[in-house]
Amino acid sequence: MSTTPSKANAGKDSSGISFTALYTGAVWHRHGLSDDVLATDQGRWLYHLMTPFEASSKALIGGNIRTFLLQRHLIIDHLIEQALERGVTQVLEIACGMSPRGIRLRDKHPLIHMVEADLPDMATRKASRLLVSGRLGDHHQVMPVDILAESGEQSLETVVGRAFANNAPMIVVTEGLTGYFSLPVISRFWRRLAQLMQQRPGSVYLSESYLMPKQPLLRGSLKSLGGILGAITRSDVSFHFLNDQEAAEHFAACGFPSVTVNNPTDFYRRLPIPDSRHDPMVRVVEASS
Ligand SMILES: C[S@@+](CC[C@H](N)C(=O)[O-])C[C@H]1O[C@@H](n2cnc3c(N)ncnc32)[C@H](O)[C@@H]1O
């Protein structure tokens, strides 16, 4: 796997985001959702470092990063299961990081074709961990992708074509990715994905989105935190939408004919997700072709 950015993506480098996958990976592991093969020392260290901040956010505002991570992760899993029940058998998880979803899905559904994809360095890291645990094979692959690449080996179009050389429907997941890009930049990715999904009717795209909170104090604090995270990850951390309707309309305008914006409150007591004290800030977008 090449670690050189593709020519088509010259000047755009979002690899500063990658280390955040170690934190989310540690959260999945701590909550019994992951496999030891995906646990990292850096993730464990970040988990400890973040614990006082997470605990004070929970006490002060009734929710924290871990709350919305677990909400989004388990709701996405649930919606994947529904799509698999409808007969879809191909899953592409873009920006997979240390997500254990591929392992869990293949354990539960040995007949599905799972492709995990991420920037080249992270893809190499993930592939080596899956390889040592004997999980890589024709039906569980890892590929390098760069959602900013407009053409070339790492572009979305090439990766989808390589992953699934057919016109059968696919489930595409991006978790923890889109909020690191401005709305115009990520919308370009969404439009390209919608086009690919049109060629495969019955496909579904699952992703989370963070709504800008209504309360001015919370809004101000989140904007500041987003600014800090953006500086650390060298990215444009963004809250794209004010409400569910705005999100649904935007995805429809990007070319997804059917869009549902799922609020975690609809899954309380149906899924083992933590409650938020107020309206959760995360939503799971389900956009179909
Ligand atoms: C917050 S992590 C999320 C990882 C995983 N989905 C999870 O929820 O645990 C963000 C991931 O996005 C990946 N990423 C960043 N820029 C990307 C790009 N241009 N194309 C594909 N993946 C990218 C990073 O390498 C990292 O693995």
Ligand 1 close to Cβ of residue 17 (< 6 A): yes
Question: Which domains are assigned to the chain?
Answer: 63-288 (3.40.50.150)
Report the Cα–Cα distance between both ends of the chain, in Å, rounded. Answer: 31
Protein residue with least CA distance to atom 13, ligand 1: 95
Ligand 1 close to Cβ of residue 116 (< 6 A): no
Q: What is the C-alpha separation between 199 and 196, in angstroms, rounded?
A: 5
Ligand 1 close to Cβ of residue 95 (< 6 A): yes
Q: What is the C-alpha separation between 52 and 29, in angstroms, rounded?
A: 19
* pLDDT tens, per residue, the chain with 289 residues: 433 444 444 448 999 999 999 999 999 999 999 999 999 999 999 999 999 988 888 888 777 899 999 999 999 999 999 999 999 999 999 999 999 999 999 999 999 999 999 999 999 999 999 999 999 999 999 999 999 999 999 999 999 999 999 999 999 999 999 999 999 999 999 999 999 999 999 999 999 999 988 888 778 888 888 999 999 999 999 999 999 999 999 999 999 999 999 999 999 999 999 999 889 999 999 999 9
User: Which stretches does DSSP call E strand in the chain?
Assistant: 90-94, 113-118, 140-144, 171-174, 204-210, 258-262, 282-288
Ligand 1 close to Cβ of residue 40 (< 6 A): no
b/e map 124-148, b = 16+ CB within 10 Å: bbbbebbeeeebbeeebbbbbbbbb
Count of helix runs (H) and strand runs (E) in the chain = 9, 7
Which residue, chain included where needed, has tokens 């480098």? 13
Do residues 30 and 69 lie in contact, with contact meaning Cβ atoms separated by under 8 Å? no
Cα dihedral 58→40→28→35 (10° resolution)? -150
18, 34, 70, 233, best to mutate for ligand 1 pocket (most atoms within 8 Å of CB): 18
Quote the pLDDT of residue 100: 98
| pTM (two decimals) | 0.94
Angle between helices 183-198 and 156-163 (to 10 degrees): 30
C-alpha pair distances (Å), 265 with each of 80, 172, 269, 270, 282:
18, 23, 9, 10, 10
Assigned token pair, 242? 């004010």
Quote the pLDDT of residue 55: 86
Vertex 162 angle, CA 159 and 165, to 5°: 130
DSSP 8-state code for residue 266: G
